């Protein structure tokens, strides 16, 4: 029996595949390589290059490998791009995920874990944000993820599909010993962008807004180490397989760091200057996005262990020093 990881050649998915393989949990991967990297999937892990919407090929792969659970990472995930090109997001995220769910239900796979996102909350009324907070996404990316969550809720009620929608806050860090880390192109995440400045690949860090209602005026986010995310997925699988209640779970630490604190950490870790340019606020950026991690703690038994800011930045730096993007 194996675990299907869609998007397993991407940033977070590849770390989860690595963890599952290390635990002998037989991961198998489907990835279209639209943004992923074939070399991020370890040798020996069965791999199908396909779109998750390709029902015939996905069904064949699920049948051949006796898949008993699906971890669904495959998605487009750039907020700005989703505003400019929403068709790609509704098709690539929502329509493709519904097609995958058709295949999963037809094959009788009992458990499904969705990579969801803090973007389902939109601009929060309070922070830390509990799962019971209203979901009011403010961009097509968040809308598509929330729609998939709704489909999962209905399919659970009607067909008994067990699911966990894991709402990640800011995934960060790397597993440099496994040669794994963040390789988005273009990159939009703060920590790899800051480290590209440290490597001399970009001239400066742009900080968007320094007049927010936060202690130092820059935006505050909840960073979670990708190795902690990997552990949380294993726990979510165990939880569902043990008959745990389906639903949505935040994955974060409950502790936010400001953009300025991230830049300062990168200066400490890299020992480099890191010039900063302070720019205007970006539309749709809330001042602070911090998870309440209590539900995942209580139900899944999950606690972030590697998500201190310096550890995250150090692991990402070790990875980036060994790998320079084109």
Ligand X SMILES: NC(=O)c1ccc[n+]([C@@H]2O[C@H](COP(=O)([O-])OP(=O)(O)OC[C@H]3O[C@@H](n4cnc5c(N)ncnc54)[C@H](O)[C@@H]3O)[C@@H](O)[C@H]2O)c1
Chain residues that interact with ligand X, rule: CB under 6 A: 6-7, 9-13, 30-36, 51-53, 73-75, 77, 92, 96, 115, 117, 168, 170-171, 184
Q: Do you find a cis peptide bond into 187, omega within 30 degrees of 0?
A: no
Of 81 and 278, CB closest to ligand X:
81
How far apart are the C-alpha atoms of 82 and 299, rounded to whole Å? Answer: 32
Q: In the complex, what is the shortest distance from the CB of residue 62 to ligand X, in angstroms, rounded to a whole number?
A: 14
Whether residue 155 lies in the annotated active site: no
Q: How far is CA 124 from CA 56, 75, 118, 289, in A?
A: 41, 24, 10, 7
Q: How far is CA 163 from CA 179, 198, 267, 276, 281, in A?
A: 30, 41, 41, 43, 37
Q: In the complex, what is the shortest distance from the CB of residue 49 to ligand X, in angstroms, rounded to a whole number?
A: 9
Of 172 and 276, CB closest to ligand X:
172
Three-class SS of residue 268? helix
Angle, alpha carbons 242-291-262 (nearest 5°): 125
Three-class SS of residue 243? coil
| Cα 197 to chain centroid, rounded | 23
Q: In the complex, what is the shortest distance from the CB of residue 45 to ligand X, in angstroms, rounded to a whole number?
A: 14
Of 34 and 278, CB closest to ligand X:
34
Token pair for residue 167? 């709402």
Residue 289: its H or E element: strand 288-289
Q: In the complex, what is the shortest distance from the CB of residue 91 to ligand X, in angstroms, rounded to a whole number?
A: 9
Of 33 and 85, CB closest to ligand X:
33
Which residues 6+ apart lie within 8 Å of 285 measured at CB?
208, 209, 219
Of 183 and 314, CB closest to ligand X:
183
Of 75 and 205, CB closest to ligand X:
75
Q: In the complex, what is the shortest distance from the CB of residue 33 to ligand X, in angstroms, rounded to a whole number?
A: 5
Half-sphere CA count of 1, side-chain side, radius 13 A: 7
Q: In the complex, what is the shortest distance from the CB of residue 10 to ligand X, in angstroms, rounded to a whole number?
A: 2
Catalytic residue among 11, 141, 168, 223: 141
Residues tagged active-site: 141
């Amino acid at each position: 029996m194996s675990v299907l990881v869609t998007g397993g050649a991407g940033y977070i998915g590849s770390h989860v595949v690595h963890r599952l393989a290390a635990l002998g949990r037989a991961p198998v991967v489907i990835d279209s390589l639209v943004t992923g990297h074939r070399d991020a999937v370890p040798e020996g892990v069965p791999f199908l290059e396909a779109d998750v919407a390709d029902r015939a090929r996905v069904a064949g792969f699920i049948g051949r490998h006796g898949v008993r659970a699906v971890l669904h990472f495959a998605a487009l995930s750039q907020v700005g791009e989703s505003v400019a090109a929403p068709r790609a997001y509704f098709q690539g995220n929502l329509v493709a995920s519904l097609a995958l769910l058709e295949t999963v239900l037809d094959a009788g796979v009992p458990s499904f874990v969705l990579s969801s996102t803090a973007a389902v909350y939109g601009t929060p009324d309070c922070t830390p944000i509990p799962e019971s907070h209203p979901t009011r996404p403010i961009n097509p990316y968040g809308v598509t993820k929330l729609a998939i969550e709704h489909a999962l809720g209905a399919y659970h009620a009607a067909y008994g599909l067990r699911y966990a929608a894991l709402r990640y806050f800011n995934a960060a860090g790397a597993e440099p010993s496994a040669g794994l880390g963040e390789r988005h192109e273009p990159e939009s995440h703060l920590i790899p962008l800051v480290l590209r400045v440290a490597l001399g690949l970009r001239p400066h860090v742009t900080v968007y807004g320094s007049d927010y209602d936060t202690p130092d005026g820059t935006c505050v986010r909840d960073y979670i180490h990708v190795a902690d995310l990997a552990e949380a997925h294993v726990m979510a699988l165990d939880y569902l397989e043990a008959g745990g209640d389906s639903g949505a779970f935040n994955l974060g630490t409950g502790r936010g760091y400001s953009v300025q604190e991230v830049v300062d950490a990168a200066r400490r870790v890299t020992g480099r200057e890191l010039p900063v340019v302070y720019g205007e606020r970006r539309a749709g950026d809330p001042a602070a996005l911090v998870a309440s991690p209590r539900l995942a703690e209580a139900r899944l038994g999950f606690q972030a262990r590697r998500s201190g800011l310096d550890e995250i930045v150090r692991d990402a730096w070790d990875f980036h020093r060994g790998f320079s993007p084109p």
